[in-house]
């Protein structure tokens, strides 16, 4: 007979003892480089936000003493409008599960945290790949890809100066310089997928830190002491949310297509942040409703009892969209192959 000490055997001991359970859940869905905390916020009550852009270049007239003066027509502007869209996550909290398993874990708190992660992941995905035109039922708002494609050519510039097709080749530093030159309101940061950021690191290592290269690509430390790659003094943020894409991701119905087969392509963005409500020309996060607490991107509603169910419930709801105040708020390079950087 196998001895279980005080118990008849090990099987009986296992029946009458309790396993140790570590409270909480270890997070495995880690996605770095999100935009949610970077955007300035315009919160308002209403369905849409509207603003105007300058439509034509302005000039005055010259004259001479005694000559007649000519009246000019009033200036025309380009009206812009963005409609808020809804995203939500609601979950039942089963009373049986909560009562039985709540001994080891705060069941409700864990589910709230999971739902908030779901909301953040969906928001971050829409910030990049959302599309009003091509989404099913037009339920999404336009993300950075859609905004970059739809944005008009800046006044006095050549078409495509801020929306560049790399042609399924390695990222060109000349194209980065072009976007930097034509984003006249400035660039707050570049957003890179990790694959292309790693290529930039390799380019620096392979070419050494020459005086010219060091003046364009260097490293600084953030407030937490972590290294940040810089391009001409502008930080490069690496993001897990920018993923592999289909070829020709920049155009048509495939404008926001994530990779499914064939060669992987990537995109990078140059972003100027600014609150459109304050007449700042950058990209703004629009939040609707008067029930969202300041600093929160969603409304949280608990339900003490659900009809026809032995459960409580929780709901997270957000009314949101992105707005690019100026046509020079955003630059994009797409169809980038994961290959060596081109000078």
Cα separation, 85 vs 49, in Å, equals 12
Burial of residue 153 (CB within 10 Å: 0-12, 13-18, 19+) is middle
Burial of residue 248 (CB within 10 Å: 0-12, 13-18, 19+) is middle
State the pLDDT at residue 4: 45
Alpha carbon distances (Å) from 203 to 92, 120, 234, 266, 272: 51, 33, 18, 17, 26
State the pLDDT at residue 293: 80
State the pLDDT at residue 323: 96
Domain ranges of the chain: 41-50+83-337
Alpha carbon distances (Å) from 326 to 82, 143, 153, 323: 13, 15, 11, 9
Place of tokens 């459109």: 276
Per-residue pLDDT of the chain (343 residues; tens, 9 = 90+): 454 455 566 676 566 666 666 767 777 778 888 899 899 999 999 999 998 988 788 888 898 888 989 888 878 888 999 999 999 999 998 888 777 766 546 778 888 999 999 999 999 999 999 999 888 889 999 999 999 988 888 877 888 899 999 999 999 999 999 999 999 999 999 999 999 999 998 888 887 655 456 567 777 777 777 778 888 889 999 999 999 998 876 666 655 678 888 889 999 999 999 999 999 999 999 999 888 887 789 999 999 898 888 888 999 999 999 999 999 999 999 999 999 989 8
R_g (Cα) of the chain, nearest Å: 27
3.40.50, 3.90.1690, 1.10.3470, 2.40.160: CATH of 41-50+83-337: 3.90.1690
Cα separation, 191 vs 238, in Å, equals 6
Read off the DSSP letter of residue 17: S
Cα separation, 139 vs 161, in Å, equals 30
Burial of residue 53 (CB within 10 Å: 0-12, 13-18, 19+) is middle
State the pLDDT at residue 1: 45
């Amino acid at each position: 007979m196998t001895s279980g000490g005080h118990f008849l055997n090990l099987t009986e001991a296992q029946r009458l003892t309790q396993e140790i359970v570590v409270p909480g859940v270890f997070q495995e869905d880690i996605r770095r480089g999100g935009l949610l905390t970077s955007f300035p916020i315009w919160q308002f009550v209403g369905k849409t936000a509207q603003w105007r852009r300058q439509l034509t270049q302005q000039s005055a007239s010259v004259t001479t003493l005694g000559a007649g003066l000519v009246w000019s027509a009033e200036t025309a502007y380009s009206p812009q409008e963005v409609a808020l869209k809804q995203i939500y996550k609601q979950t039942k909290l089963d009373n049986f599960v909560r009562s039985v398993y709540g001994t080891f874990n705060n069941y409700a708190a864990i589910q709230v945290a999971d739902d908030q992660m779901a909301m953040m992941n969906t928001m971050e995905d829409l910030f990049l790949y959302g599309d009003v035109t091509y989404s099913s039922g037009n339920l999404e708002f336009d993300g950075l890809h859609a905004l970059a494609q739809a944005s008009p050519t800046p006044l006095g510039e050549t078409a495509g100066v801020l929306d560049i097709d790399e042609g399924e080749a390695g990222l060109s530093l000349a194209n980065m310089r072009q976007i930097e030159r034509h984003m006249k309101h400035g660039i707050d940061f570049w957003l890179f997928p990790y694959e292309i950021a790693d290529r930039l690191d390799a380019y620096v290592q392979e070419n050494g830190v020459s005086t010219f290269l060091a003046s364009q690509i260097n490293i600084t430390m953030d407030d937490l002491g972590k290294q940040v790659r810089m391009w001409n003094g502008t930080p490069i943020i690496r993001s897990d949310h920018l993923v592999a894409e289909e070829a020709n991701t920049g155009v048509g119905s495939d404008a926001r297509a994530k990779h499914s087969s064939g060669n992987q392509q990537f995109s990078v963005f140059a972003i100027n942040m600014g609150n459109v409500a304050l007449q700042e020309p950058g990209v703004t996060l629009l939040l609707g409703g008067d029930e969202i607490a300041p600093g929160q991107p969603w409304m949280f509603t608990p339900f003490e009892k659900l009809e026809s169910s032995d459960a409580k419930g929780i709901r997270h709801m957000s009314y949101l969209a992105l707005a690019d105040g100026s046509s020079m708020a955003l630059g994009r390079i797409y169809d980038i192959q994961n290959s060596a950087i081109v000078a």
